[in-house]
Structure 1
Amino acid sequence: MGSTTLNIEQIEFFNTNGYLVIENLISQDQIKTYRDIYNRFLNGEIETGKNRVDLGVGLGKNTQVENITQIMWPCDFVPELLDMEYHQRALSMSKALFGNDMELDFDMLINKAPGTNTPTPWHQDAAYWITLPDKRAVSCWLALDEATIDNGCMWYVPKSHLQPLRVHRPMSVKGGALVCDADEEEGIPIQIKPGTGIFHHGATLHYSRGNATSSQRRAFIINFRPKAMIDLERQAGFDHGRTGSAAERQVRNEHSK
């Protein structure tokens, strides 16, 4: 395991490009522990109710499993996650990037099951959020499997966080994912090994292809933002899926008027 903070060069790279790769974000001996917890969510041993949705609804044709499995707030169901390596190290690094007032806003699991082959559309995370006066926000995307182009590794458009947000729209009439106009020619794929994390700015443009392989592509994402902004979100009724996606959409629509 390396340092729990970041050096000047890493911070400058993030500020310039809008993303930063951190190898061995969690120790190799912890990968199995996280995979075991993750699989308990996927197989239903940990019942998540409305917190489990198909982010790829209307985008793929799978009927036996979700096209893209999204489980919000895993730390609500397994509270010990908050004290484990990933949450603690990612929080420390988010503070190095944006300041000591950064705190956990939400966490989520996004899995692309074998052969589901459903792309996550091009988008910027900030398009999903309500408007806040302080725009500091960073997500960490942790790979629990090898992430490749063929199974859905992340693609980023460098420096896109320095431009205005693009216009987003629902990808499907059934809801689910948002999309904006972009293509792979703008971006670069980031293929990484298990245990590697990628931090990206809330306004960084990104996407991933579908999983066309016979293996899982399990990702564990944590988002951080200033505590004062989290308080404003909660006061507005915005809690990133804790109370249900329909309520969330209504709050977001009200704030976008």
Structure 2
Amino acid sequence: MNALMGLSTNVSRLQWNEYQENGFVKLGRTLDENELSQLQNRIDDYMMGSITNNELMMQLDVGGNDYGAMGSTKFGQSKGFKESTLSYRKIEKLEQDPLFFAFMRKEIFRDICFKTYGNIDISSYRAMFMNKPKDLGTVLPWHQDGGGSWGLSHDPRVTIWTALDHATTDNGCVQVIPGSHHLGLLNEMGHLITDEQRKNYCDESKVKYLELEAGESMILNNMLLHRSGVNNGNSSRRAFSTCYMDGSTTQINSGKRFPLLFEAK
């Protein structure tokens, strides 16, 4: 912890042990007020069209309990700006933005990556904005981040999730099943789990709501079962998520490599 700035700059042994046991741990604050304001303003500029980048993958939010509706023509994810609204659900490829890229490369995240993968090059599978707009937000059912549908030569193991607004139970914070990462990948193709698996592993009595203050981050194991609900609060729930992985990872069908974030020491 950086006492002067109040920022977390490293991961303690206690935090790391908690992460290994539970599959998640809160890091505390990783953005100072100025950095937080810059990222908030930048993502709003992308949503409103004040700044455009036609390579960004952007998706509007439909809202509600029908996760399948996200695949419709209007609400599917595709390249480029859609319309001036703060009701986007997701924006990917933010490693192309210098402000977000600089944040992704903070020393505390390097430390986490080297603890996870060892002293190797580290790349990013995705750097994305996730949003639950005020009075909207689409349910994201229980799932894991990985599997065959990702089409990668190596499975990513760690994600850093950072709150750009307060993330609360009311506005759709992440919910997890502590320790569920020890189950490993439940479906070969990954992502959503079956009804039977949900009954077996996701009893409501086990659910932990991960509330964060704006500017705080947490580590999530990619195999941790997690979900989120709609936004019933009176403010947005903006967040930024980066999936870090072995830098030698390629897309199987194309051989494509991914943006390098950290080089081996």
Displacement, 1:26?
Answer: 1.5
- SS in structure 1 at match of 2:69: coil
In the alignment, what sits opposite 1:195?
Answer: 215
Displacement, 1:195?
Answer: 0.9
For residues 75-94 of structure 1, the aligned pairs below 5 Å read 75-76=95-96, 78-84=97-103, 86-88=104-106, 89-94=108-113
Displacement, 1:98?
Answer: 3.3
Displacement, 1:192?
Answer: 1.1
Which of 173, 192, 196 pairs up with 1:153?
173
Whole-angstrom CA distance in 2 between matches of 1:190 and 1:238: 34
Which of 12, 16, 20 pairs up with 2:25?
20
User: Structure 1, residues 86-112: CA drift from partner, whole Å, max 9, x if none?
Assistant: 532323332234323252312111111
User: Structure 1, residues 2-55: CA drift from partner, whole Å, max 9, x if none?
Assistant: 453212111111111111111112223321111111111221223244611247
- SS in structure 2 at match of 1:233: coil
**Fraction of identical pairs, as percent:** 22
In the alignment, what sits opposite 1:210?
Answer: 230
Displacement, 1:69?
Answer: 1.2
- SS in structure 1 at match of 2:46: helix
User: Higher helix proportion, which one?
Assistant: 1
User: Structure 1, residues 190-240: CA drift from partner, whole Å, max 9, x if none?
Assistant: 111111111111111101111122311101011101112x2x237745679
- The 3 A distance-change label for structure 1 pair 67 and 211 is same
Does the Cα contact within 8 Å between 1:57 and 1:67 map onto a contact in 2? no
5+ residue gaps in structure 2?
1-5, 62-66, 76-82, 260-265
2:118 is the alignment partner of 1:99: yes
- The 3 A distance-change label for structure 1 pair 36 and 154 is same
RMSD over equivalenced CA pairs, Å: 3.2
Runs of 4+ in 1 over 4 A off after TM superposition: 54-57, 59-68, 177-180, 237-240
Does the Cα contact within 8 Å between 1:70 and 1:111 map onto a contact in 2? yes
Whole-angstrom CA distance in 2 between matches of 1:110 and 1:66: 12
2:27 is the alignment partner of 1:9: no
Does the Cα contact within 8 Å between 2:129 and 2:241 map onto a contact in 1? yes
In the alignment, what sits opposite 2:251?
Answer: 233
Does the Cα contact within 8 Å between 1:123 and 1:179 map onto a contact in 2? yes
TM-score, L = length of structure 2 = 0.74
Whole-angstrom CA distance in 2 between matches of 1:45 and 1:118: 25
Which of 58, 61, 82 pairs up with 1:52?
58
- The 3 A distance-change label for structure 1 pair 235 and 22 is same
Whole-angstrom CA distance in 2 between matches of 1:210 and 1:91: 32
Name the amino acid aligned to 2:91. Answer: I
- SS in structure 1 at match of 2:242: strand
In the alignment, what sits opposite 1:113?
Answer: 133
TM-score, L = length of structure 1 = 0.76
Whole-angstrom CA distance in 1 between matches of 2:210 and 2:102: 28
- The 3 A distance-change label for structure 1 pair 60 and 149 is farther
Does the Cα contact within 8 Å between 2:89 and 2:137 map onto a contact in 1? no
- The 3 A distance-change label for structure 1 pair 186 and 3 is closer
Whole-angstrom CA distance in 2 between matches of 1:119 and 1:27: 30
